[in-house]
Structure 1
Amino acid sequence: MNNYTENYIQTDEFPQQYIRNKENTVEGYPKLQKLMDLKEQQVVTHSTKAYGCRMNVDKMTPYLKKWLAEDGLNFDVVMIGCLSENQFLYPVLRSLPIDKLISKPGFLFIWASSTKINELSRYLNEEIVTKKFRRSEELIFIPVDKDSCFYPGMANGTDESLLDKMQWHCWMCITGTVRRATDGHLIHCNVDTDLILENETPISSTDSENTFESQTQTQKDSNSKHSSIFKKNNNCVPSEIYKIAENFSTATRRLHIIPGRTGLNMPVRLRKGWVIMSPDVMLNNFKPKEYIKETEQLLNLPEDPEIEKLRPKSPVQKPKYKNSAH
């Protein structure tokens, strides 16, 4: 038996608490560290300003259809869901015009807890979805322990199993044609792993400060009685989840849809380079025409020679030649 598994049974301490490089997964690998730093700097430099679209769940689909019909607006990266159990995942997925909302090639990330994974699988197995999207990768996020704000308590509420279902799942799907060996201007593969571990320090502390700086002084004053509460809490979306999408796709048009309320204890903070649609997003400043004007000059991040030198690449297959008969 694995020692950490036995230790969990005896002490109720999760094995991931003993992983030493949770805060910096590339510790001891200077080239990977430099690659991560360069990627982060590039994304920040070429990101749009942070946009929020405050919208009740039942209004999301009509508004998205309005963006498509009136503004011709679509995105290259769409993320749906966050690390909250209170999400109307399946009905929202069924109603969203996802195939029209995402450009080709485009990338779809859908997050769900263990209790929602059957709903997610049911949706992805529907014929109308399989014709337009293909599953590429499954990503996993694991909270550090039961005290984490990302611990999916509802997944274990009625389960008498000895083991806890604490992971969050994400299916990454692709529409259109993209090849990892030849389309380096569109995707950067193998920069991150498919397993994300929560840091013991607040995951989104840096992003939280950036979020507050992006709000107007008037909004800060009007929400002053809540600001101290917000600063003490995490984002309902760990920054690592955003970074996975940012590191993989070079596209600059990114949309995040959160189909459910998260409440004051799990605020929906803004992030540069993303349009975040949620009933509880902290700032409501999205204007389609302004966004289109801001993104039309740079749809993909420019190629960086240093990043190209450092990032992992898939080998280009050599053409096969048939031996001629003599």
Structure 2
Amino acid sequence: MSTGKKAEDFDRRKRNISMKPATVSFMNDNSENYIQTNVMPQNLITNSQNQLEGYPKLQNLINLKEKHIAEYTTTPYGCRVDIDQMVPILHRWILKEKLTFDVIMIGALTDNQFIYPLLTQLPIDRLISKPGFLFIWGSAKKINELTKLMNNENWAKRFRKSEELVFIPVDRNSPFHPGISDNEESLFEKMQWHCWMCITGTVRRATDGHLIHCNIDTDLSVESGLTRNSAIPSHLYKVAENFSSATRRLHIIPARTGSETPVRARPGWVIMSPDILLNNFDCKRYRQEICKLGTHQPVKPEIEALRPRSPPSKK
């Protein structure tokens, strides 16, 4: 091919390239939007009010489970106790009353709680059944404390960390905002809450459907307009209720929460707190209710047909 022909072909290809429209990619830049508007990115999540929007099968499952849980639930119990009396009273429940629970939640969305000292003093392995499930809530600033606890040899032998849940408030005006960071000059603010779910004993997703229903709720929750102003949003209770079919549930809040974030009693739970609005817990009455209900909800075929399952083994 002659030199003139080569030059002509090169010019033709150059013209074709230049005539093509430039490719424009559109994407959401929530960081830039926050700088311009001061609106937190979590406020822009479209399905924060209803995370099941567009998933009718899962919505049906949640509705069936909600009715099933309500059918096998105890009276809402509150136990109003000062923080320094929590450990002695829980010891009495273990030794004298012989109480055990299958689901225990510790902590709430308030940053002044003393979770680490309580966990190191309390023989939780004797308070919780095997298998059992432990949910521990703490702000992002207290992750180091929880990590230190989980790395303790005695604790690691008794509890196995399985899941981590995250709750995000919508902004600094939220009652769930954890407060000012230790480093006020920090560029990024840690405002999320973390929950470590630990398991005692052995539970397998594939074979223990009568004990656990996994994969129903998401690991990330964002505060919405439907969230009640309480020390812990009702949705976070539902995560524990949906996960385990157990009826014996205990929630320990080792902190003063005040009037802005009151502690409300919830059906199916014994809530221990210095500020619980209801103070009606009686060991004898509680045992009688559990004897009538049973320690676990019975299996319901409609729920079993809808609930998500782990992928089948390749073997």
TM-score strictly above 0.5 = yes
Alpha-carbon separation, structure 1, partners of 2:186 and 2:33 = 17
Letter in 2 for 1:287: D
Query: Corresponding residue for 1:261?
Result: 256
Counterparts of residues 282-301 of structure 1 (less than 5 Å) = 282-297=277-292, 298-301=294-297
Checking the alignment, whether the CA contact within 8 Å between 1:53 and 1:286 is kept in structure 2 is yes
Alpha-carbon separation, structure 2, partners of 1:97 and 1:240 = 28
Alpha-carbon separation, structure 1, partners of 2:205 and 2:291 = 25
Match of 1:25 among 47, 51, 68: 51
Runs (4 or more) in structure 1 with deviation over 4 Å come to: none
Query: Corresponding residue for 2:101?
Result: 75
Query: Corresponding residue for 1:87?
Result: 113
Checking the alignment, whether the CA contact within 8 Å between 1:188 and 1:249 is kept in structure 2 is yes
Match of 2:174 among 133, 144, 148: 148
Alpha-carbon separation, structure 1, partners of 2:285 and 2:312 = 40
- 1:194 and 2:189 are equivalent in the alignment: no
Deviation for aligned residue 1:10? 2.7
Provide closer, same or farther for how the CA distance between residues 299 and 272 of structure 1 changes in structure 2, counting only shifts above 3 A.
same
Deviation for aligned residue 1:160? 1.8
- 1:244 and 2:239 are equivalent in the alignment: yes
Alpha-carbon separation, structure 2, partners of 1:169 and 1:159 = 21
Query: Corresponding residue for 2:309?
Result: 313
Deviation for aligned residue 1:117? 1.2
Alpha-carbon separation, structure 2, partners of 1:260 and 1:153 = 15
Alpha-carbon separation, structure 2, partners of 1:300 and 1:287 = 21
Checking the alignment, whether the CA contact within 8 Å between 1:48 and 1:294 is kept in structure 2 is yes
Counterparts of residues 19-58 of structure 1 (less than 5 Å) = 19-58=45-84
Report the RMSD for the aligned CA atoms in angstroms: 1.4
Q: Deviations over 1:88-136 (max 9, x none)?
A: 1111111111110000000000000011111111111111110000000
Alpha-carbon separation, structure 2, partners of 1:316 and 1:98 = 34
- 1:170 and 2:183 are equivalent in the alignment: no
Moved more, 88-97 or 278-287: 88-97
Match of 1:118 among 144, 150, 168: 144
Deviation for aligned residue 1:163? 2.2
Query: Corresponding residue for 2:204?
Result: 179
Counterparts of residues 262-277 of structure 1 (less than 5 Å) = 262-277=257-272
Alpha-carbon separation, structure 2, partners of 1:165 and 1:83 = 14
Checking the alignment, whether the CA contact within 8 Å between 1:52 and 1:282 is kept in structure 2 is yes
Deviation for aligned residue 1:289? 1.5
Checking the alignment, whether the CA contact within 8 Å between 1:182 and 1:316 is kept in structure 2 is no
Moved more, 168-177 or 192-201: 192-201
Query: Corresponding residue for 1:10?
Result: 36
Is the partner of 2:135 in helix, strand or coil? strand
With the length of structure 1 as denominator, give the TM-score of the two structures: 0.86
Structure 1, gaps ≥5 residues long: 205-233, 321-326
Deviation for aligned residue 1:291? 0.7
With the length of structure 2 as denominator, give the TM-score of the two structures: 0.89
Deviation for aligned residue 1:29? 1.1
Alpha-carbon separation, structure 2, partners of 1:294 and 1:273 = 10
Is the partner of 1:131 in helix, strand or coil? helix
Deviation for aligned residue 1:162? 2.5
Deviation for aligned residue 1:145? 1.3
Structure 2, gaps ≥5 residues long: 1-26
Checking the alignment, whether the CA contact within 8 Å between 1:144 and 1:200 is kept in structure 2 is no
Checking the alignment, whether the CA contact within 8 Å between 1:61 and 1:97 is kept in structure 2 is no
Checking the alignment, whether the CA contact within 8 Å between 1:114 and 1:165 is kept in structure 2 is yes
Alpha-carbon separation, structure 1, partners of 2:123 and 2:285 = 22
Larger Rg: 2
Letter in 1 for 2:209: G
Deviation for aligned residue 1:316? 4.6
Identity of aligned residues (%): 60
Alpha-carbon separation, structure 1, partners of 2:162 and 2:252 = 20
Deviation for aligned residue 1:80? 0.2
**How many pairs are equivalent?**
288
